[in-house]
Amino acid sequence: MSILRKLFRASPTPTSDGAFSPSPLAIKLGTSSTTNYDGGDYDTRYKGDTSKVLMICTQERNMTMANGKKFSTGNHPVEMGLPMLHLINAGFEIDIVTPTGAPVAIEMWAMPNDDADVQKLYRDYADAFANPGSLAEFVANDMTDVAPYAAVYIPGGHGAMLGLPDNADVGKALHWAHNQGLYTLALCHGPAALLAAKDEDGFLYSGYKMTVFPDSVDKQTPMIGYLPGPMPWWVCEKLNALGAQIINKKADNSCHVDRRLITGASPQAANDFGRLAAITLLASSTAA
């Protein structure tokens, strides 16, 4: 097996901090230097009072796998970037926070380096990613009935499984968004953070249909060296156990709206998810 891994360049790549990023084969198969971003043109832009989207990002880099090896992860740059572009072009502002205000962890190995729109976005928001707001401070001070927000957004990347699903402030923010009638947006592994919305009254999203990165695909990716070992836990399995209904079987471009929850299945869904989110928020503001 080790000879075949070397032959096909399928061994995960060691990082300077003792973790592993995906193998050259996995990078070739699972990422692209460009995206399918459609340009983000909208006939009308939002001009109302609730113009902000609270984007909750992970600040944690390394995921310890079931075999003890660490995977170098964070938020996926395409899953985070394309929806940001759509929301911004539709007239919304993005407020970036992490649990404590530490820098956003980004899977730089998945950055589409030849995509001019994404590259410009990351240059424009470099300071915001390096110096985000604190979710803890937001929950303590800004979570009011008149806060100017239209949605809470949780981008994907395996890093969404780190420090968010068990964070009490994430749970409070999700309940606040639900109670205020805001939309919640979660892409790929982002729905892992929805697990934080479980309390003594149950799971906020029990009975909701959603699209999520399939556990079955996560179980296959170690074979090509995308992950350095089996996952420590399974997102869909945990969501299903709490009553969520995962409606996709593949890591495809499927998206879904259930009440005020918008989800997408994978990096392939990033553009469609971003457009769906923007159009839905625009339509909701017009109806209001």
Determine the Cα–Cα distance for residues 17 and 21; give it in Å rounded to an integer. 11
CA 7, 8, 11, 12 torsion: positive or negative? positive
- Let me know if 188 is a catalytic residue: yes
pLDDT at 217: 97
Range of the domain at 202: 2-35+52-287
Per-residue tokens: 18:
């003792």
> What pLDDT, on the 0 to 100 scale, is given for residue 61?
98
Q: Is residue 42 part of a domain?
A: no
Across 151-175, average pLDDT:
98
The CB-side HSE value for 155 (13 A sphere, CA atoms) comes to 36
Q: 2 falls in which pLDDT band (50, 70, 90)?
A: low
Q: How much is the pLDDT for 5?
A: 56
Give a yes or no: residue 41 inside a domain.
Answer: no
- For residues 200-229, give the mean pLDDT: 97
Contact indicator for 53, 62 with CB cutoff of 8 Å: no
Q: What is the CATH number of the domain that holds 157?
A: 3.40.50.880
| Overall number of domains in the chain | 1
Would residue 40 count as lying in a domain?
Answer: no
Residue at token pair 């499927």: 254
Q: What is the pTM of this model?
A: 0.96
Going by pLDDT thresholds of 50, 70 and 90, the confidence category of residue 286 is: low
Q: Which of the residues 57, 188, 236, 255 is marked catalytic?
A: 188
The candidate with the shortest Cα–Cα distance to 5, out of 253, 230, 222, 197, is: 222
- Residue 16 phi, psi dihedral angles, 5° rounding: -65, -20
Strand partners, 222: none
